[in-house]
Amino acid sequence: MPFFTADSYTAPMTSTSSTQSDEHLWLEDIDGAEQLEWARQHNAKTVQRYAQSPDFERMEQGILEVLDSQARIPMVRKIGPLFYNFWRDRKNPKGLWRRTTLAEYRKPRPDWETVIDLDALAEADKENWVWHGAQCLQPDYKRCLISLSRGGADANVVREFDLELKEFVASGFALPEAKSNVAWKDMNHLYVATDFGPGSMTSSSYPRIVKEWKRGTPLESAATVYEGGADDMTVSAWRDNTPGFERDFVSRQMDFYDSETWLRASDGRLAKIDVPDDASTEVTREWMLVEPRSPWTVGGATYKPGSLLAARFDDYMAGKREITVLFEPDDTTALDDHSWTRHHLILNVMHDVVNKLEVLTPQAGSQQWKRESLGGAPELSTIAAGGIDEDENDDYFLTVSGFLQPTTLYVGTIGRGEPEPLKDSPAFFDASGLRVSQHFATSKDGTRVPYFEIAPKNLQANGSNPTLQYAYGGFEISLQPSYSGAIGRAWLEQGGVYVVANIRGGGEYGPRWHQAALQRNRLRTCEDFAAVSEHLIARNITSPRHLGAMGGSNGGLLMGNMLTLYPKLYGAIVSEVALLDMKRYTHLSAGASWIAEYGDPDQPEEWAWIQAFSPYENAKKGQPYPPALFTTSTRDDRVGPVHARKMAAKLAAMGYDASFYENMEGGHSAATDNKEAAFMDALGYAYLWEHIGRTST
């Protein structure tokens, strides 16, 4: 029997072909009373069926204990002389922004000084504030811009804060709720891109105008610095206040991958940084680093996509094209990240999705860089390092973690021996009987696709093991080995197998891995995911009856496609905060900002191939669809709840077993605090256990 019954509502008539046949269009009114009541009614059904058993309560409580644990490592960021951390736990569900010294941080139980108590602030303001970070004015770090979100939405309220007095500045800089880009220029000026009124936002729902705002003057009087187009993604401006290298920049983001950046002179003139639009560019002190996403020919040489290139910034702006290759990818190696210390550059390189670290040091008076190893990760683990204060010293933090290895935090100084252990995360589940392995499946077009498998050491290859397969597959984002107490407690300790598929669309092998599944080639993400599933089944690790699939956001779109395109491979699907209606996605929330990833469905020639990966469009009656759960958040102003609402309603109307849960808060993360996060995680795992557990039918 279907979990939903068909609703009696009729879609409003429209004059556009994209909406004429959409009987669930009425659910696009996000905050409408009828629509919210629809969501609440279906929430109640989902809770009653999956979230009211003793097993669910134990799972939820186990996950919450992990999230609230006082033994977690409080990761810090250096601001001025002190180290800051944002911390949530049972006593402080909304969180504390707090600080301490490095000497105190080294202790097992540091003495923290509270800077902002978000729970107290939310109570005083009668708002469900969610912390979205702080931008502090370099180099004195006496003032910060605090970003606060109502209910977890991407849109923020911005307020000026005094770090010395630990209070918001009366009559200081303040911006109302909007998707703003804001940055300090100096103590009395901000660069502000925000909602200035009609015509000031792009079709992607982000600012298209950036202005310079002087303290003590109304925002309406701010002077325009740059205007982008309505079809751009967004614009921004900022100042690098590094002493001796103060520079102002303006950026126009045309789409998710293409942008232009200018150096802004004191008189307001703009000088374009002449690099490819699809390149990522960073300026630090005297150096400019460039990561091209396509082949770049300049100065008589051609550089590979995914390379990291260095040039002296002032020389480059003067017309010189002396470029040094700091990293060049190959078929199995990609650059994951890089980070500056005062005199060195740390590179994090992936080989088949496993890390190693290198230190590069520019040599005085030349384009040469000295190269040394900073270490590699233990087998099938992740190692990452980042400079602590690139203006002051060569200190760095280093973390090591794996699927079965709790995170260890080290601190070191480049050139002064091995880093020393600083803090250890506890083991939240018993991993003694588990093992991690890496495998490679062959996709439809012959591409070798890696995946990680976490399973019992004594696993019986009998096809009956409950297996959860996870992937993301988009926006050049990599999925690497990482420790999760929640997955350990809710899945691995219960005898489940957990699989992470490193499919195309991600960044595991650099830009080429991502670009291989863009737009008209998007179905390759599905083919890769299906290839991993088939490989698991061929190895007799599991079978369709016991194989579940889960993904969120872009990964949630992937799940919708696995449901409609490969239904016979799975016993259940969980799709979280997902895009699903690819016919209308550019008209929903921030959807227009992802045209570079998926294509524009309003262009007939592009819709011809987008429709092949539009789950909402492709859902048909009479198919062998497995049960599916769709979760979302009312306050998600990035993807929005509309996709999940409509998909669940359409499947239910066709007679399928489709479950739905919409958190009324939470934004794109679908949770505002640890308690909500534990519930949402437990709901997904409980759903899968119900449908693909060893006793499921």
pLDDT tens for residues 11-25? 323 334 445 689 999
pLDDT number for residue 19? 54
Annotated catalytic residue within 553, 575, 589, 659: 553
Give the CATH number of domain 34-64+435-692; options: 3.40.50.1820, 3.40.47.10, 1.20.1250.20, 3.30.70.270: 3.40.50.1820
Cβ atoms of residues 324 and 368 within 8 Å: yes
Question: At 461, is the secondary structure helix, strand, or coil?
Answer: coil
Whether the model clears a pTM of 0.85, i.e. scores above it, the answer is yes
Where does the pLDDT of residue 378 fall: very low under 50, low under 70, confident under 90, or very high at 90 and above? confident
Q: Is residue 463 classed exposed, middle or buried when 0-12, 13-18 and 19+ CB atoms within 10 A define those classes?
A: middle
Active site residue 53: no
Torsion over CA: 672, 676, 681, 684 (sign)? negative
Where does the pLDDT of residue 233 fall: very low under 50, low under 70, confident under 90, or very high at 90 and above? very high
**What percent of the chain is predicted at pLDDT more than 90?**
94
First CA to last CA across the chain, in angstroms?
14
Strand partners of residue 235? 252
Cβ atoms of residues 299 and 319 within 8 Å: no
pLDDT number for residue 17? 42
Where does the pLDDT of residue 379 fall: very low under 50, low under 70, confident under 90, or very high at 90 and above? confident
Active site residue 553: yes
Which residues fall within 8 angstroms of residue 626, CB to CB, at 6 or more apart?
Answer: 563, 567, 570, 571, 572, 573, 691
Least reliable range by pLDDT among 7-16, 223-232, 395-404: 7-16
Where does the pLDDT of residue 592 fall: very low under 50, low under 70, confident under 90, or very high at 90 and above? very high
At 601-613, the pLDDT tens digits run 999 999 999 999 9
Please give the order of strands across the beta sheet that includes 467-470. Answer: 434-442, 448-456, 497-501, 467-470, 547-552, 572-576, 628-633, 658-663
At 120-155, the pLDDT tens digits run 999 999 999 999 999 999 999 999 999 999 999 999
At 663-677, the pLDDT tens digits run 999 999 999 999 999
Question: At 604, is the secondary structure helix, strand, or coil?
Answer: helix
Mean pLDDT of the chain: 95
Q: Report domain extents, the chain.
A: 34-64+435-692, 329-427
Average pLDDT over every residue of 191-200: 97
At 75-122, the pLDDT tens digits run 999 999 999 999 999 999 999 999 999 999 999 999 999 999 999 999
Q: List Cα–Cα distances, 264 to 225, 254, 255, 288, 414, in angstroms.
A: 9, 19, 22, 16, 34
Which tokens belong to 569?
């491979």
* Residue 691 to residue 680: CA distance in whole angstroms: 17
Look at residues 438, 688, 667 and name the one whose alpha carbon lies nearest to residue 550: 688
